[in-house]
Chains A and B, each alone.
Chain A
């Protein structure tokens, strides 16, 4: 642990020789399992989505025919509707122990993976290109949210040259034409999956998946209403990993609905008792884009030093408004339309596919709804697309809500690029400024 004003951040030993050829799912199972055991029993349920996703990946060993690679901003419902299991190789990096991730990034660099390729994708490039990840039956790719992830398609193509890939061309616009455009492609997507997996789409299953997806979103919106209360009953920063896994990988599953029901009951109870998060809330911020996956201690530091709570995370809040239809009887066309809407409003993808004002307006929306005192734009240095929106978002927030935004460069996975201490050195003056504005003594 390294010390910052008496606060401990993680330290790493990058000199260790790691066996990067081990089974990554086993590695995640072991490390995440050990991490969960360290947490108090009464909060372990919060991490169920992570466990659910890892269990699904482990189940692939018994059912290799169900393996479908899915880009992280492609709605998982399409895979569940086909009774397959979605495997998002890049998502492994975000659950990996930091030293492993860095070793894998370095291995990729040695194989000439370009520097601009982010660690999120670059961390699994070497295992893919050297045949260490399982061969999928099908690959669902798409053209959002950034140039890097579009280029990532060629890594997949090179890794599995005889597996045809489906690439969804996400629409630019948010109008009905954009929904229709996406729905038509998703129809082709189902045809593709049928051809590649040899399975037939079961309409009842599709109905069930879309109904569960709608239910998950309904629950999430309800939870969000409670989260707006002061103090925030459950800051997003304390559930960033499970909530991201939930909405990037598990929508459409029974497990997610069950977890969100527990989450809602807990949030409601905390709200009724007036209980905030783990620490006293003195101010609140909306966190944008990347977060320090390698050390969540940055949030602890913010809370402990300033009482600053990250109440909402721009890309883990719900955007999809499920259409109000009878899912039990819905037609294929209605379901395709719902799936198109869901896909067009996938977190990150939604902000990465069209005009950059979507990003700006989404930030304004969350800041307004959560009564934020400030916003933090933690831009991953290799995510070029969203950087275009940084300054305009800052100006709009000041103009419309009178709140400041900190713009800082981070690497969400690799502390060798920007460490927790370096992040804190940017956050500190910003939070001091908010504290002074609010007349709070840190």
Chain B
């Protein structure tokens, strides 16, 4: 009997992600930019992932939706919060995750996982309504330098010192950064300061759930080496890399939950 196929779809504020999964392996994944129409975006990203996996949408037996646009994922039989999905996805990738720091487009979360390796959430904390400490903050700052966001982290590593960014708010930080540029400060040092500002916002969430090792990161910002290193410095721990692309961890967790639900249903 062939393996059933399921999918997880994570419609975030910046990216939409989909994972096609057969319970053992990730058959394919896809990432596309989010649009103002979450249902359309979800449909597109699922189709893209299905095409890559060489399956049709009709072959997918169960879809779980997550992310901000989760309620709009067409065909989703279930929706689950990003917290539960990130925990599941991270534990599927590396079973020793004790603390997961997920920094997404518009929020950041710190999740404490049970030690049984099943991705059970023990506790979590998340930022409130503020873009500081999120991917959006980095995006706005990258816009100031007219730099691709992918280059941001590497540039931060080249800095000899970190310039302090005191404004917590994205809007104020943007004007502070413009001032620093006008004052002639080295771009790398300013970028290092920006990465450190994100790390500062995220690290305050960690004591709220208690830091337990091993610590991993998920979400788009996990790819930013500048933020990752700043967080390591602030938290004084090693932040390990997941075996899967950190951007698709939420969608992966949704797919894992989809398979669980399908098995229960059968």
Residues of A within 8 A of B (CB): 3-5, 391, 394, 398, 404, 407-409, 418, 422, 425-426, 428-430, 432-433, 436-437
Contacts and interface: CB of A to CB of B under 8 A. Distances in A.
A433 B83 CA distance: 9
B84 A429 contact: yes
Interface stretch (B3-11, B123-131, B236-244): B123-131
Contacts of B125: 407
B124 A433 contact: yes
Contact of B71 (A5, A409, A429, A437): A5
Given A430-B124, A433-B121, 15 more contacts: A3-B71, A5-B79, A391-B208, A394-B208, A398-B123, A407-B208, A428-B81, A429-B81, A429-B83, A429-B124, A432-B81, A436-B84, A436-B120, A436-B121, A437-B120
B7 to A, nearest CB: 19
13 contacts: A3-B71, A394-B208, A409-B129, A418-B129, A429-B82, A429-B83, A429-B84, A432-B80, A432-B81, A432-B83, A432-B121, A433-B122, A436-B84
A285 to B, nearest CB: 15
B123 to A, nearest CB: 5
Nearest to B65: A5
Contact of A409 (B80, B120, B122, B128): B128
Contacts of B80: 432
Contacts of B126: 426
Contacts of B71: 3-5
Contacts of A422: 129
Contacts of A394: 208
Interface in B204-250: 208
A422 B122 CA distance: 22
B129 A432 contact: no
The 10 closest A-B pairs by CB, nearest first: A429-B83, A429-B81, A433-B121, A428-B81, A409-B128, A432-B84, A5-B71, A404-B123, A432-B81, A436-B120
Nearest to B120: A436
Interface string B115-145: 0000011111110110000000000000000
Contacts of A436: 84, 120-121
Dominant SS at the A interface?
Answer: helix
A436 B113 CA distance: 12
Contacts of A409: 128-129
A3 B120 CA distance: 29
A398 B81 CA distance: 23
A186 B82 CA distance: 53
B97 to A, nearest CB: 16
Interface in B78-109: 79-84
Contacts of A5: 71, 79
Nearest to B207: A391
B128 A429 contact: no
Contacts of A391: 208
A88 to B, nearest CB: 30
B121 A429 contact: yes
Nearest to A408: B128
A429 B109 CA distance: 11
Contacts of A418: 129
Nearest to B109: A429
A3 B121 CA distance: 27
A430 B82 CA distance: 11
A319 B125 CA distance: 31
A11 to B, nearest CB: 16
A202 B82 CA distance: 62
Contacts of B81: 425, 428-429, 432
A64 to B, nearest CB: 44
B244 to A, nearest CB: 21
B168 to A, nearest CB: 15
Contacts of A432: 80-81, 83-84, 121
A433 B124 CA distance: 9
Contacts of A429: 81-84, 121, 124
A432 B79 CA distance: 11
A224 to B, nearest CB: 29
Contacts of B79: 5
Looking at A398, A409, A418, A428, which has the most chain B CB atoms within 10 Å of its CB?
A: A428
A404 B112 CA distance: 12
Nearest to A428: B81
Contacts of B208: 391, 394, 407
A434 to B, nearest CB: 10
B78 to A, nearest CB: 9
Nearest to B261: A441
Nearest to A435: B84
Looking at A407, A429, A430, A437, which has the most chain B CB atoms within 10 Å of its CB?
A: A429
A429 B70 CA distance: 13
Contacts of A3: 71
Nearest to B70: A5
A433 B129 contact: no
A4 B80 CA distance: 13
A296 B224 CA distance: 41
A119 to B, nearest CB: 16
A409 B80 CA distance: 22
Contacts of B129: 409, 418, 422
A391 B125 CA distance: 11
